[in-house]
Amino acid sequence: MKPERSTIQIKLADNVMQRPLPNEIVALIVHHVDYPECEPRLNDDRQMAEQRELYTFTLVNKQFYAIANPLLWQEPVVGLDSTFLQRLLDCLTATTNQQPLGHHIKKLHLHNTTCTDHQLLLLMTHIPHLETLLIENKRYPDNNDASSVLTPLPSPPLISNVSLQFLPRCCSQLTVLEIHSIHLLEPTARAIGQHCHHLRQLTLHLNAVPWQPLFSALTHCPLALLSITSYERATVTLTETMAMDMLTNFPGLTSFKMNSFDPSGLLMTLAHTTLTTFPSPWPHLKKLDLTRYVTLGENNLALIRFIKTHPHLEYIRLGHAVLTDRSLDAMAMSLPDLHELHLLRVKGISADGVRQLIRHCLGLKVVCLAKCDSIVLGDLLPGGSSAFFFTLKETTLAMIR
């Protein structure tokens, strides 16, 4: 192969023929190139080394350029360069009338340290096909420690509703949205619900009480994943209205995580009391994560009913809860696909109950217990240590069985 001309030599008898390299092969080369020098990924974001590799492909020839350039622009790597956003905006503005490069952009990870509300307002007009957006707002509280010898750094301005409320109209193809420390106000929430009809994953890291009808406003978003967490230790009171909005507005939900509202057990109670008049909430749920699970009622009847009506659950994580061995029995009997269970500071369960769960739930591959009613590893495994925080994987689970 001769890369400079994207041709291959085909030798037939004594004749050597030049043939253009098919676009399909070029695409495979670009898509499946190995990145041995890339740093390990901490998330799904593209790394700078990958970006450099793609840029190198665009320099090979016109054929490689035509295939690699859209991929290069698909996920710009903003990094920590405070000048990158302005240079990106200048480039997008300069090419708008010729080749709208912004139309290739599908994914962005923005920080308030490198992007302002004003820049985001300008940027969103160039990226109508954006599908994944992650916005992180960072402060520097550690630098304000009185014991620090360093000069305190002023926190950068936060990306806010000033720009975010206009994003859904400009980027209606969003499928994944993750935002940190933005207090969603009514105009932003309504805009997301009105325009983002392809939104499948919504992750909110809250630092303030959200607008109460938030989940009602998102009823037209076909969410499969909903994650609501908080940076603050103080939790938000979960009202019955908000809980009902969560349960009834997202029938396609497969993954649910919440640690910022109490009592989260209200979800189970309402699901239990409404099952007689409505279809089971979240019938396709596979992942349930309630880090601050507070039970309501006696004997975990609501939770047991929820488990029995959600047979597709594969992953459960409950924290700061009062359960019973009956809850574990329900998991063993009703969840044939359960393969991962995490219990954090759970009271009311016994080592025997955990052992029976492991023996009857043969699909379990991971069981993690942390400070659960004084249960230690030695209670489950002969010769085990007195560790109260431990993870059991397949080999150890097989020994217990």
Q: Could you report the per-residue pLDDT of 230-277, keeping only the tens digit for each?
A: 876 656 778 888 889 999 999 999 999 998 777 777 888 887 776 566
CATH number at residue 368: 3.80.10
Whether residue 251 is contained in a domain is answered as yes
What is the count of structural domains for the chain?
Answer: 1
Q: Tell me which residue range forms the domain holding 245.
A: 224-401
Query: Residue 83 falls within a domain, yes or no?
Result: no
81 found inside a domain:
no
Q: Give the single-character DSSP code of 389.
A: E
Which residues, other chains included, contact 290 with Cβ-Cβ below 8 Å and sequence gap of 6+?
257, 258, 259, 264, 267, 317, 318, 319, 321
Q: Identify the bridge partners of residue 10 per DSSP, sorted by sequence position.
A: 17
Q: Contact at 8 Å (CB) between 46 and 54?
A: no
d(CA 276, CA 395): 42
At 280 the pLDDT is: 80
Q: Does residue 319 fall inside a structural domain?
A: yes
Q: Long-range contacts: 63-70, Cβ < 8 Å, 24+?
A: 63/6, 63/20, 63/21, 63/23, 63/26, 64/3, 64/6, 64/26, 64/30, 67/23, 67/26, 67/27, 67/30, 68/30, 69/104, 70/104
Read out DSSP for 95-131? TTTT--GGGG--EEEEETTT--HHHHHHHHTT-TT--
**Domain presence at residue 24:** no
Q: Determine, yes or no, domain membership for 240.
A: yes
2: confidence class by pLDDT, cuts 50, 70, 90: very low
Residue 15 has pLDDT above 60, yes or no: no
Q: Is residue 381 part of a domain?
A: yes
Say if residues 204 and 236 touch (Cβ distance below 8 Å): no
Query: pLDDT tens digit string along 72-127?
Result: 888 888 877 788 899 999 989 887 677 788 999 999 999 999 999 999 999 999 99
**Structural domain contains residue 30:** no
CA 76 to chain centroid: 19
The pTM of the full predicted model, rounded to 2 decimals, is 0.84
39-53, 205-219, 297-311, 318-332: least confident range: 39-53
